[in-house]
Structure 1
Amino acid sequence: MVLDRDLEAMPWTERAAHRQWLLREADDLFRFFEAASLDPDGGVRVPDTDGRPLPGGVTELHTTTRLVHCFALGSLQGRPGARAILDHGMRALWERHRDKEQGGYVWSFGPGGFVDDRKQAYGHAFVLLAASSALQAGHPDAARLLTDVTDILDKRFWEEAHGASAEEFTRDWQPFDTYRGQNSNMHLTEALMAAFEATGERAYLDKAGRIADLVVNRHARAQGWRLPEHFTEDWQVDRAYDGNPIFRPYGTTPGHWLEWARLLVQLWELEGRRSDWMLEAARALFAQSLADGWDAARGGFVYTLDWDGAPRIGDRYWWPACEGIAAAAALRAVTGESLYEDWYRRIWDFAALHLIDRRHGGWHPQLGPDNQPKSEPFADKPDLYHALQACLIPLLPTDIGLAKGLREGRLATA
């Protein structure tokens, strides 16, 4: 038997059947979250393991904003029902998360009002992303949300001397620690690029470039591409920091190296391919994440590492695999190298066999080192954002973001 070597060499994203598979996976994710997203008390919900809406209660800012972003994408695709969920999420942002007295957006609210009233850069980055995607989708309230959160980010969070964002404040805008974090700034970079595409205003892109230069070109490069997570107030690496095990774990997080690899390709493209270090860094971060983070025996990316590259939290979360898929697709597209195609397939193989929950829907949020689902720290199905983007990013050119690409009809489908 003679194999068709030309067919085997053809990238998966150039095959109509694979593109249709990606769209079906995206559709499955939308359907799983549609049934659980609307809280009649004004918040948003995520599904439990079986896809049922979690009981009403506390709504957190990153949940609201990510659903707004995702259902803005669904609306841009012409998905029935997506606009209603987008409308609901936009009302929650403007009427429930927004602090009408002090300005900004609080972390969480419940039926009785604010629950956690801190103002965090991480959450505000996602407000900017949500507003930008909603603007691309033509939502009538998107412009005011984008203007408001941009003003807050500029006046309260942005530190011009460092070219990056401060981390968090009390409700009345008092600083209560000196921590600076790359995670919030990474997501702000993503949101700034989306805002640039939505408005054409160069100031957004310039800020994204300054953050990338500080976090990646200076600090990640100096650490041999083992990207530091935690910093002091003057942006010195804090190796001893051990904070929240989900959002601020000790050590390094290879999933963020993959996420930056994908973002750097996009930033390199949006800037007109003028900063060669961005592509160099994207390749280096991807390579280091494979060297340190990928389990060669059992597959999957471990969650965190010690500073010598040894696994610290060996569980496999869903989102590093999602970011690895998107980064591999982007790097293959701009380099044409088969290495990235091989990893694109390998990571999708792992996700399809272990992370996608074919019985109940959605993705398992974490697996143990034995690749079996775990119930801690995520007991439910908390996130549409990462998995949906893993399905859609490979279908778009690298020189355009998701919302703008969908609005301009550049999604490859057939």
Structure 2
Amino acid sequence: MTGWLGSPAHARWLETEGDGLLDFGRASVHPDGGFAWLSEEGTPELDRPVPLWVSCRMTHVYSLGHLMGRPDCGRLADHGVTALRGRFRDAEHGGWYAAVGADGPVSRDKTAYEHAFVVLAAASATAADRVGGRELLDEALGILLEHFWDDEHGMVREQWDEAWTTLDGYRGVNANMHTVEALLSAADVLDDASLRERAQRILTRVVHDLARGNDWRIPEHFDDTWTPVLDYNIDEPAHPFRPYGATIGHWLEWARLALHLRAALGVDAPSWLLDDARGLFDASVREGWAVDGADGFVYTVDWSGAPVVRERMHWVAAEATATAAAMHAATGEPEYDAWYRTWWQHVADHFRDTAHGSWHHELATDLSPSSVTWAGKPDTYHAFQATLIPRLPLTPTLAAALRDGLLA
């Protein structure tokens, strides 16, 4: 069968899908600032606190849309930048609140996961030449590197109190993964190799040390000495951000990030980046895909590789297509195009919501819409990026590549 990757006709299909996601997300503009959580039907839940991570992701998405020449996307990106420089920002202590409501912050702790997304949004807004984008990026990088970066361990710490006086004892890999994404983007937008070096330190520790040494099942949760806590949240296994066990979708994301770094480093890239990306990809297929008699990736597995939470998450399917495209770009091997076709067909058959738009964020094991972990459709970040990654080179990262006119 003719491959989809590199096909102009398939690229047009991806473009149409991406435009549909941009259209769906327009309803999320919150009149008080930022982007609201959307219901399954696409209705903004304006009484719900506005999460920082949602507003950052949508600012990033609409910055990319502007770079693609889509009308109104620049205005929506500006709406996001304004909220990040205003409503979410702690003007007294610096940094950003994780969620805000009508009366101000509803959570005053400062968290690395959300701050990584501020950097990503700011980098994309800077590439899109949006007003205030560069100032936001400079501030966000300053906060991230001053307060969250742990130079001794080459990782980011997780959570501070409002005034940056008390550091929580929890350490997490999820925040580090999105910090790698943000640092790689900022490095490309600013042409700052030092940011790429920090991303490489994180990738080395998580992928080459932790994943390779644990049958590719990446420990997600750690104490303040960076010792894995393998039973963390064993009583709340379906937690949206800190689930028990190993998270299949993250193996795919880490594999793709390793390939982006490898491409950026060129001849200086260590050989293990490709080898380990292949190992993570293969493990995600072996232990995650259709392992319980139905198509789809399970959410998590335990430390023997047995499924724990079997619901299918849209973001995992999106990352699977993107990582298959990246593996194919790095190797040219046809098996990755075959997996790419398989997973896009799965998305088209089960995740795309042809009635209300966007993608169902979660499916049950019978592939009907579910809400064990995710209710509604809070953002389009993973799905939208999945429509772009197959049409862009592995380096530079998305915003810089679009800025440079590299979209196929």
* 1:312-327 correspondence to structure 2 within 5 Å: 312-327=308-323
The answer (yes or no) to whether the contact 1:317–1:365 under 8 Å persists in 2 is yes
Q: How does 1:225-264 map to 2 (within 5 A)?
A: 225-242=216-233, 245-264=239-258
CA-CA distance at 1:141 after TM superposition: 0.4
- The answer to whether 1:18 aligns with 2:10 is yes
Map of 1:305 onto structure 2: 301
Root-mean-square deviation (Å): 1.2
Pairing of 1:60-79 with structure 2 (within 5 A): 60-79=51-70
CA shift, 1:176, in A, is 4.8
Tell whether the 8 Å contact from 2:318 to 2:382 is kept in structure 1 after alignment: yes
Q: Does the CA-based 8 Å contact 2:240-2:374 persist in structure 1?
A: no
Supply the AA of the counterpart residue of 1:275: P
Distance 2:400 2:179 in 1: 18
Alignment match of 1:269 (pick from 263, 268, 286): 263
Match of 2:209 among 218, 224, 237: 218
Q: Which of the residues 334, 339, 342 maps onto 2:338?
A: 342
Kindly provide the amino acid, as one letter, of the partner of residue 249 in structure 2.
Answer: G
Alignment partners' CA distance in 2, 1:214 and 1:14: 33
3-state SS of paired residue (1:98): coil
Could you tell which deviates more after superposition, 81-90 or 227-236? 227-236
- Match of residue 365 from structure 1: 361
Output the CA distance in 1 between the equivalents of 2:167 and 2:203.
26
The residue aligned with 1:102 is 93
Q: What's the TM-score, normalizing by structure 2?
A: 0.96
Unaligned runs of 5+ in 2: none
CA distance in 2, matches of 1:370, 1:39: 34
State the TM-score, normalized to the length of structure 1: 0.95
Cα drift, residue 338 of structure 1: 1.3
Alignment of 1:160-175 (within 5 A): 160-175=151-166
The Cα offsets for residues 339-359 of structure 1, whole Å up to 9 and x where unpaired, read as 111110111111110001111
2:127 maps to what in 1?
136
For 1:59, give the aligned amino acid.
V
Aligned positions of 1:103-122 closer than 5 A: 103-122=94-113
CA distance in 2, matches of 1:321, 1:57: 27
Shift of 1:397: 1.2
The CA distance in 1 between the partners of 2:167 and 2:104, in whole Å, is 22
For 1:363 and 1:98, locate their aligned partners in 2 and report how far apart those are by CA, in whole Å: 30
Give 1:41 deviation, angstroms.
Answer: 1.6
Residues paired across the two proteins, number: 403
| Larger displacement relative to structure 2 (332-341 or 238-247) | 238-247
The 10-residue stretch of structure 1 (54-63 or 76-85) with the greater mean CA deviation from structure 2: 54-63
Shift of 1:379: 2.1
1:155 counterpart residue number: 146
Alpha-carbon distance between aligned partners in 2 of 1:283 and 1:78, rounded to the nearest angstrom: 35
Give distance in 2, aligned partners of 1:236 and 1:256.
19
Code of the residue aligned with 1:198 in structure 2: it is V
Identity of aligned residues (%): 43
Kindly provide the CA deviation profile for residues 161-212 of structure 1, in whole angstroms up to 9, marking residues without a partner as x.
Answer: 0001000011111335311111000000000000000101111101000000
Contact 1:45/1:56 (<8 A) preserved: no
The alpha carbon displacement at 1:46 in A equals 3.1
Per-residue CA deviations over 1:120-165 (Å, capped at 9, x if unaligned) read 0000000000010000000120111111111111111111100010
Q: Shift in Å at residue 362 of structure 1?
A: 0.7
Establish whether residue 287 from structure 1 lines up as the match of residue 282 from structure 2.
yes
| Distance across 2 between alignment mates of 1:233 and 1:270 | 32
Task: Indicate conservation of the 8 Å contact 2:116/2:179, yes or no.
Answer: yes
Instruction: Look up the match of 1:381.
Output: 377
Q: Which residue of 2 aligns with 1:4?
A: none
Q: Which has the higher mean CA deviation after the structures are superposed, 54-63 or 287-296?
A: 54-63
Work out the CA distance in 1 between the residues paired with 2:51 and 2:147.
21
* Long gaps (5+) in structure 1: 1-7
Name the counterpart of 1:5: none
The CA distance in 2 between the partners of 1:176 and 1:127, in whole Å, is 20
